[in-house]
Chains A and B, each alone.
Chain A
Amino acid sequence: MLDLEIDGKQIEVKEGSTIMDAANQLGIFIPHFCYHRKLSIAANCRMCLVQVEKAPKPLPACATPVMGGMKVFTHSDEAVNAQKGVMEFLLINHPLDCPICDQGGECLLQDLAVGYGGSSSRYEEEKRVVADKNLGPLIATDMTRCIHCTRCVRFGQEIAGIMELGMVGRGEHAEILTFVGKTVDSELSGNMIDLCPVGALTSKPFRYTARTWELSRRKSISPHDSLGSNLIVQVKDNRVMRVLPRDNEEINECWLSDKDRYSYEGLNSEERLTRPMLKQDGEWKEVEWQTALEFIAEGLKRIRATHGAEAIGALATPHSTLEELYLLQKLMRGLGSGNVDFRLRQCDFSAELQGAPWLGMKIAEISQLDRVLVVGSMLRKDHPLLSNRLRQAAKRGTHINLINAVDDALLMKIEHKVIVAPREMVKTLAEVLKATAEAKNKPCAFSAQLAALNPSQEARRIAESLASGNKAAVFLGNLAQNHPQSAALHALAQELASLLGAKFGFFGEAANSVGGYIAGVVPFGTPAGKHAKAMLEDPLKAYLLLNTEVELDCHNPREAVAAMRKAELVVAMSAYRHKAAEYAHVLLPIAPFTETAGTFINTEGRAQSFNGTVKPLAETRPAWKVLRVLGNLLGLAGFEQDSIEQVRAEILPDAGADLAQRLDNRLRRQILAAVEIPAADGLQRIGEVPVYSADAIVRRAASLQKTRDARAPVAWMPGVLYERLKLRDGDKVKLTQEQGSATLEARRDDTLPQNCVRAASAHSMTAELGAMFGEITLERAT
């Protein structure tokens, strides 16, 4: 520890600390632009110059290491003179167009200019003008305002993992730009806007729509991926204008994924459903809530009377709130049906867990791991910020190992990887397990099933890597969870983790993937019922859909839509008017997360409750209220709640104190029938969910839909297939699964495993196809 004195205050800091660190600990503000606590030190803006006793010249606080006995003055004449000098330099070429700058009112340069700038300028020469750049649909530029702090450049290099912006040119000609003709495509790009201390990089969708001081700031929680990013939702005239990150070191730090940041555009979509609607004689008619709910209550009663309660089922997405999910299953069970599920993209339900599947650790603990195995995940796109945690860990030397079906660039060092067809993943994981057992010289639960396996070299390398660490973890990603043999993967991963003394966890798919279990929207409560797949394979008579667009949210959209078309009653509770109009009988406008209070339980098992940030649009109602009233109309007991807090208290008594005990990844029974590759000569589909197709809100976020990540699905295939069909880029191919087909552009990707075709799911262009990882045939389209 080192002692020093800043502005007469004594403090002790760790060795290696900078003056800035010490000042931050003391709560002394030193003006700065290029310094950012999450980025490397550049020391280029020179705004943080301070006086240090015995130093011949002022020193940058951000970069100067503390020495024992140092005396620092941040507000002395020398320091302030230096700071004012730098401020003058920053302003001479800055346009000072604050009245027309989107950053005005939330600009670090503007703020500090008040304290350190002059009221007039001594600079009489012409100011520099810099051409604007097109960085894509999310970030607007005004490069003349750039002060060259290089925060955006360092963010790309250090956090996003890819240098998409750089500074070229010397001296006054230095400017920030992308590689020739490229845009900024990182899934974390919006953070550059937050980092930019001036109005050089601003939000393109938000641009010119509001002034920062006109906005109310309201806390919320992201409804998208399973991280549960903390949000500030900014509102003007009862409309969500912008979403910014709310610092939470344990969850999203100071970052947001672009999905969390820009999805709000979907909240203001033209497709919003505004009034309850009934289909009468094939025509949709707007009706009163009372009429619609009575119609539903009567319909459900009739079907229960004629077909039994088990003919009714409910399908929800894990983007619904905990309270909505809970009341949905309570309503279904009140009716006597256990047919409830939210695991719509899952297809193997044979694993029985001891509790709700979760990350198996705190999110922040990822940073402390030294060995990691990720099985089946589009890591960067499914979990942009968890992925960043792993990236930062990898930089510190953590081994990241991967078993996956695609070899997308993860922008971090991958120690070892095996890229195989989904159908071969079980075998690959089993090989790693066997090699680990051998390396550890320990018995393994499945020695009989593994006896015939001969682990590949790469599987052995993964095993060696995992066995060489002290803090290891094995994670199953979305692909593994939605895999046709997810239970086998689960059993193997659990055994591998236990052999290693490692943590074992799931990267939850969505905001409430844990909450769905906690709310009981699973068919193994009382009464028990059918899981999502069974409900659709063998169609029911009535379906309640909560936030669900079956053609986009289900493992097998073709089967799901067919089931809907056969039903006597389909009730679609949604914020949007969507394809359900073709098969539903009632459409109920329910509130998205910004218009209702609710709770999401994130992948680390943290319950985060939030309030609505704007009033519900038109006749929209929070779904928990809708379900509560529907419960009354059906004469069910237990629907007397007056507030959402009462609903929440039923699910999480003691404010969720016991939540930790309800999380458990362990299987009730260690099952693993056999490790073999399912016999199939055909092609297997890799039908991942693209990042901006995952849920109803993001699908309607206009700017995100213009990004490269949201491009129309194409059929990616390895070279062998490509050549067999004599394809060239731009040729179309017809993909067929079951009786449905889709015609997509063909693209070659030699990193794909043999006998695989990668064609995204959750997209209208592929909604006619079947299972995400099912067999698929391929022919040249004519």
Chain B
Amino acid sequence: MTCLHGRHINPIILAGLDGNNWCIGDYMRRGGYSALKKVLSEKIPPEQIVNELKKSALRGRGGAGFPTGLKWSFMPKSFTGEKYLICNSDEGEPGTFKDRDIMRYNPHSVIEGMAIAAYAMGAKTGYNYVHGEVWDCYERMEVALEEARAAGFVGDNILGSDFSFQLYNHHGYGAYICGEETALLDSLEGKKGMPRFKPPFPASYGLYGKPTTVNNTETLACVPWIVLNGGEKFLSMGRPNSGGTKIFSVCGHVNQPGNYEVPLGTPFAKLLELAGGMRGGKKFKACIPGGSSMPVLPAHIMLATDMDYDSIAKAGSMLGSGGVIIMDETVCMVKALLRLSYFYFEESCGQCTPCREGTGWLYRVVNRIEHGQGKQEDLDLLVNVADNIAGRTICALGDAAALPVKSFITHFREEFEHHIESKQCLVPTYA
């Protein structure tokens, strides 16, 4: 499960990485920090950078896919107080492990991206919030940050300009909810991580109540390339409304699970091929294309789909964080859903009633079905309970818990019914 296999297509972030060339010298030999130098030496106006981002159609790589340039433009320009830039490296979405590799093997791309983003938005301080369960990434980022400080890319008067940017790494403790941007802010402030109601959005009331932008690690790592090569070029690599490349974390029953950076719009079949095809020649059954929170799709739909935001949405799921979970014919969909439901039950922050109470209910009913205690009414109950959670909570965890339940039952209802009727699994044997 790595990105060091070279089987990428037109990679931007993962290009030329061998696992050992993550230091600042290596990065600069690859052309690193030239974007930051360009911005500062040419005194490129911040609005121009935001415009390039808008042109690039770069969309947030953390899961929501919000246009990055538009998000940056929400930061109040006339605000004179402290503004913050946060890099959300709290990668906790099951099936997703791309930010981990970016931080491990190309940490300076994140630092450079943050410095440019801070410049473009007038932020003086940035935090990189690293997931608590990938400790080596936190340590790697610390070393890289020290290198960047020493080289004068972070700190006061960067490269002799009047632009100063203080950057800090901060690690969480592994709570999934802290990847939600406002829970992340609470956690960063030293509180228990619980999502905040929006509005107000972070751009007006963020960290310590100040204007704040939160971007995903991969999103920020794209920024230097866009600044150097222009937004249009980035856009042209992908599809309209889905510019650039995207790192897909392909996992599950494939021969070579790992991170694959490919242009958005690459056919799923091509991605599957890059990942070495189905393991043991087993039949491809289903795929969750965007991390565990997204709806599952049966193989035949996936195989007809391209990997970009709009195509996957059209197919009935979402691109999300790019965690592509491949399941073969040996997978019991009831058991798979049980595992997912347990995850959301455990990770709900407990703040909103529907999620706090509903995730446990979902988990217990699925658990009952898996263990032969289910009733036919349970399937409608599950769908109804999921409907009562989705869209009725402060953050998207409620939706994340509801969507798998609904999609698993929609696409694989007969497996659930078989479990209930014959009290056993439809999938005969596990390979």
Contact = CB atoms under 8 A, between A and B. Distances in A.
Contact of B350 (A46, A63, A90, A170): A170
Contacts of B392: 46, 49, 57-58, 82, 85-86
Interface string A632-653: 0000000000000000000000
B350 A174 contact: yes
Interface in A452-475: none
B345 interface: yes
A137 interface: no
Interface string B343-377: 00111111111111111110011001000000000
17 contacts: A43-B197, A85-B392, A89-B353, A89-B358, A90-B353, A122-B381, A123-B361, A125-B361, A125-B365, A125-B368, A148-B353, A168-B192, A170-B347, A171-B356, A171-B360, A172-B357, A174-B350
Contacts of B81: none
Nearest to A171: B348
B350 A65 contact: no
Contact of A169 (B199, B350, B393, B394): B350
B394 to A, nearest CB: 6
Given A42-B351, A43-B394, 5 more contacts: A44-B394, A85-B354, A85-B388, A125-B365, A170-B349
Interface residues of B, number: 32
A92 interface: yes
A167 B197 contact: no
A171 B197 contact: no
Contacts of B350: 148, 167, 169-174
A174 B356 contact: yes
A431 interface: no
A7 to B, nearest CB: 20
B192 A89 contact: no
Interface in A165-201: 167-174
B352 A170 contact: no
A46 B359 CA distance: 15
Nearest to A89: B357
Interface string A117-155: 000001101000000000000000000000110000000
A46 B357 contact: no
Contacts of B405: none
A171 B361 contact: no
- Among the interface residues B199, B347, B351, which one has the most CB atoms of the partner chain A within 10 A? B351
A60 interface: yes
B391 interface: yes
Nearest to A175: B350
A138 B140 CA distance: 53
Given A41-B197, A171-B345, A171-B348, A92 B175 contact: no
A93 interface: yes
A548 B349 CA distance: 56
B82 to A, nearest CB: 19
A56 B391 contact: yes
Contacts of B192: 167-168
B177 interface: yes
- Among the interface residues A58, A89, A122, which one has the most CB atoms of the partner chain B within 10 A? A89
Contacts of B358: 89
A88 interface: yes
Given A43-B197, A85-B392, A172 B348 contact: yes
B199 A125 contact: no
Contacts of B388: 82, 85-86, 88-89
Given A43-B197, A56-B391, A85-B388, A171 B353 contact: no
Contacts of A437: none
Contacts of B357: 89-90, 92-93, 172
Interface in B373-423: 381, 387-388, 391-394
A92 B192 CA distance: 26
Given A60-B197, A125-B364, A47 B359 contact: no
Contacts of B359: 171-172
Nearest to B381: A122
A45 interface: yes
Interface in B13-50: none
Contacts of A86: 353-354, 388, 392
Interface of A: 41-47, 49, 56-58, 60, 63, 65, 82, 85-86, 88-90, 92-93, 122-123, 125, 147-148, 167-174
Given A57-B391, A86-B392, A45 B348 contact: no
A90 B356 CA distance: 9
A539 to B, nearest CB: 62
Contact of A171 (B349, B365, B368): B349
B289 to A, nearest CB: 22
Contacts of A65: 199
B352 A171 contact: no
Contacts of A89: 353-354, 356-358, 361, 388
Contacts of A45: 352-353
Interface in B158-185: 175, 177
B353 A44 contact: yes
Contacts of A42: 197, 351
B347 A92 contact: no
A90 B387 CA distance: 16
Interface string B317-352: 000000000000000000000000000011111111
Contacts of A168: 192
B391 A58 contact: yes
- Among the interface residues A42, A85, A171, which one has the most CB atoms of the partner chain B within 10 A? A171
B351 A44 contact: yes
B356 A172 contact: yes
Contacts of A122: 381
A170 B361 contact: no
A343 B385 CA distance: 66
B175 A46 contact: no
Contacts of A167: 192, 350
B123 to A, nearest CB: 26
B177 A92 contact: no
Which 7 pairs show the lowest CB-CB distances between chains A and B? A174-B350, A85-B388, A57-B391, A171-B348, A89-B357, A43-B197, A125-B364
Nearest to A60: B197
Given A65-B199, A86-B353, A92-B361, A171 B347 contact: yes
A173 B359 CA distance: 12
Contacts of B345: 171-172
Given A41-B197, A57-B392, A172 B353 contact: no
Contacts of B360: 93, 125, 171-172
A171 B346 CA distance: 7
Contact of B177 (A44, A170, A172): A170
Interface string B254-267: 00000000000000
Contacts of A60: 197
Contacts of A171: 345-350, 355-356, 359-360
B199 A46 contact: no
A58 B351 CA distance: 18
Nearest to A122: B381
Contacts of B391: 56-58
Contacts of B347: 170-171
Contacts of B352: 44-46
Contact of B356 (A57, A63, A148): A148
A173 B355 CA distance: 12
Contacts of B393: 46
A123 to B, nearest CB: 6
Contacts of A148: 350-351, 353, 356
A103 B129 CA distance: 44
A49 B393 CA distance: 10
A86 B391 CA distance: 12
Contacts of A172: 345, 348, 350, 356-357, 359-360
A147 B350 CA distance: 10
A49 B390 CA distance: 13
A46 B349 contact: no
A453 to B, nearest CB: 41
Contacts of B354: 46, 85-86, 89
